[in-house]
Structure 1
C-alpha cells in the first residue's frame, strides 16, 4: 500500500508539473501570437502609422485645393493663376507665343 501511495504521489506531481508547463506555454503563445498579442499590436501600430501618413497627404492635398479655389474666387481673383488655368484647360495661347509639343 505504501508503494502505491508513493507511485500515486509521484504521478500526481508529474501530472501537475506537465499541466502547469502546458498552461504556461499556452498563455505564452497567446500573449505573443494571439488576437491581442504582441505581434498583432505591432501590426496595428504599423497600420496606424500608414493611416496617419495617408491622412496627412490628403490634408496637404486639401489645403492645396482650397488655396486654388480661394485664389480663383471672384473676391480675390489671381490673374496669373486664371491665365494659367485657361491655358491648361482650354488650350488657349496668345498670338505672339510659340508652342513646342514634345512627344510622350
Structure 2
C-alpha cells in the first residue's frame, strides 16, 4: 500500500511539480514568446541603425533628410500645394 502512495507521489511530481511536464510546456511557450519579442527588437534595432547611418556625417541620404524635415519640422517646398 505504501509503495502505491510513493508511486502516485512521484507520478504527480513528474507531471505537476516544479520540474514536471506541465511546467516544461509552460517554459517552452514562454521561450517562444520571448524569442518572437527578441526577433522583433533585433529587426527594430537594425532599422534604427540603418536610419542612424543614413543620417550620419559620413553618409548623408538627402531623401531621408528631406523626409525627416517634412515629418518633424513641417517643412515644404515653395512650389508644393498641401491639400487637407
TM-score, with structure 1 as normaliser: 0.78
Aligned to 1:26: 9
* Residue 69 (1) aligns with residue 52 (2): yes
Larger Rg: 1
| Alignment partner of 1:92 is 2:80 | no
Unaligned runs of at least 5 residues, structure 2: none
RMSD after superposition: 0.8
Secondary structure class of the residue paired with 2:18: coil
What is the count of residue pairs matched by the alignment? 84
Aligned with 1:39 (options 22, 43, 60): 22
Runs in 1 of length 4+ with deviation above 3 angstroms? none
Counterparts of 1:20 and 1:98, CA distance in 2:
87
Q: Identify unmatched segments of 5+ residues in structure 1.
A: 1-17
Structure 2-normalised TM-score? Answer: 0.96
> Does structure 1 residue 79 correspond to structure 2 residue 59?
no
